[in-house]
Amino acid sequence: MHIRPFASALALGATLLGFAAPPARAEPSAEDLVNAFEAVLGPIRTHRPSHAKGTCAAGQFVATAEGTRLSIAPTFSGQRVPALIRFGVGVGNPQGSDTSRTTRGLAIRFETPAGDVWEQANISVPIFGAPTPEVFVQNLMARRPDPATGQPNAERVAAFVAANPAVTFQGRWLASNNPPASWATTPYWGVNTFRFRGQDGTVRPARWVFEPRAGTLRLTEEQMRALPGDFLADELRRRVAAGPVEFDMVLQFPAAGDDLNNPTVAWPEDRPRAVVGRLTVAEVAPGPGGPCDRISFLTLEQPPGVEMSDDPILQARAGAYAVSLSRRTQ
């Protein structure tokens, strides 16, 4: 398999059950974000706690003429850009089930022939699980296990959810949409807003989604009960062997009044859209592991063509990724 190894990683490990959540109005540090994960998940040194299960693949991205017009970033030059791709399952350990009612992930590392790198992590749900880093940390801390029972305190969780209903939005979406039948048959959203600088110098806020050219297909209730817990990787290998798996990258642009900085709120589907490129998956690793395991998918912007917005969740990601990487590799 012609996938090059890279040097970074994403992991969240080690339990700190005594960690105290920051005050409600304090902006959590990168350490706070990672500590909150650790307080819930326990020691982790070998895999990601979020989308811990995954399969590495490789392919290419080619921007459309519209993509080149809307972004001066090197990835949107219109030339073939190699891509390292990780498909994931939103479970806390690598043995989690492929039929779980959780998110699926599409993480990508683009690297142009000139060495320009852009990394991103996308999920199969159009919204994130918390509106701010503060709420994200507090939500996790509310769910940390009680040492006496090994389970979260139900009253504490209920009280937090009642005061912060936005943390339920993603779960409600997952409850009303069955899991994907294939990694190749679900859209993957970036959920956060980015700023795209076009050839005309105009800066446009936008969110993106990778839409499967095979169409959207979800598991039936019967399939969720009958399928083995490890079917996604082999299903993807069969698809790619029969022909390329492809996704269109689509930008969505906001209208007046749309919230640019709250990733728990999806913009209405009638907003203007533009197809800016095509991602092709050409090969899949023969087994688990591989170079994707040591990639953090941390380089979230490619200035000046693609830059982060003021979304606080987006701003917090890079630091947390760096902390988790240092803990995993120390």
Catalytic one of 47, 48, 51, 197: 51
What average pLDDT is seen over the chain? 87
pLDDT for residue 14? 28
Q: pTM for this structure?
A: 0.88
Q: Indicate the pLDDT class of residue 7, thresholds 50, 70 and 90.
A: very low
Where do the domains of the chain lie, and which CATH numbers do they carry? 30-329 (2.40.180.10)
Q: What is the mean pLDDT of residues 271-283?
A: 98
Q: What is the mean pLDDT of residues 213-217?
A: 98
Q: Indicate the pLDDT class of residue 68, thresholds 50, 70 and 90.
A: very high
The residue whose two tokens read 């105290």 is 20
Q: Indicate the pLDDT class of residue 17, thresholds 50, 70 and 90.
A: very low
Which residues are registered as beta bridge partners of 94? Answer: none
pLDDT for residue 248? 98
Active-site annotation holds for 51: yes
pLDDT for residue 47? 59
Q: What is the mean pLDDT of residues 95-100?
A: 90
For residue 127, pLDDT beyond 60: yes
Residue 319 burial class via C-beta count within 10 angstroms: exposed 0-12, middle 13-18, buried 19 and up? middle
Q: How far apart are CA 174 and CA 127, in angstroms?
A: 10
For residue 215, pLDDT beyond 70: yes
Q: What is the mean pLDDT of residues 49-64?
A: 89
For residue 11, pLDDT beyond 60: no
Torsion sign (Cα): 268, 271, 274, 276: negative
Token reading at 120 = 């991103």
pLDDT for residue 22? 41
pLDDT for residue 49? 55
Q: Indicate the pLDDT class of residue 27, thresholds 50, 70 and 90.
A: confident
pLDDT for residue 288? 79
Which residues are registered as beta bridge partners of 252? Answer: 207, 273
pLDDT for residue 212? 98
pLDDT for residue 232? 97
For residue 311, pLDDT beyond 90: yes
Percentage helix, strand, coil for the chain under 3-state DSSP, each rounded to 5: 30, 25, 50
Q: Indicate the pLDDT class of residue 51, thresholds 50, 70 and 90.
A: confident
CB 134 within 8 A of CB 313: no
Which residues are within 8 A (CB) of 208 and not within 5 positions of it... i.e. 6 or more apart? 122, 189, 190, 194, 249, 250, 251, 252, 276
For residue 192, pLDDT beyond 60: yes
Point out the least confidently predicted range of 20-34, 107-121, 242-256, 302-316.
20-34
Q: How far apart are CA 240 and CA 238, in angstroms?
A: 6
pLDDT for residue 2? 44
For residue 35, pLDDT beyond 80: no
The CA dihedral of 84, 179, 275, 303, to the nearest 10 degrees, is -50
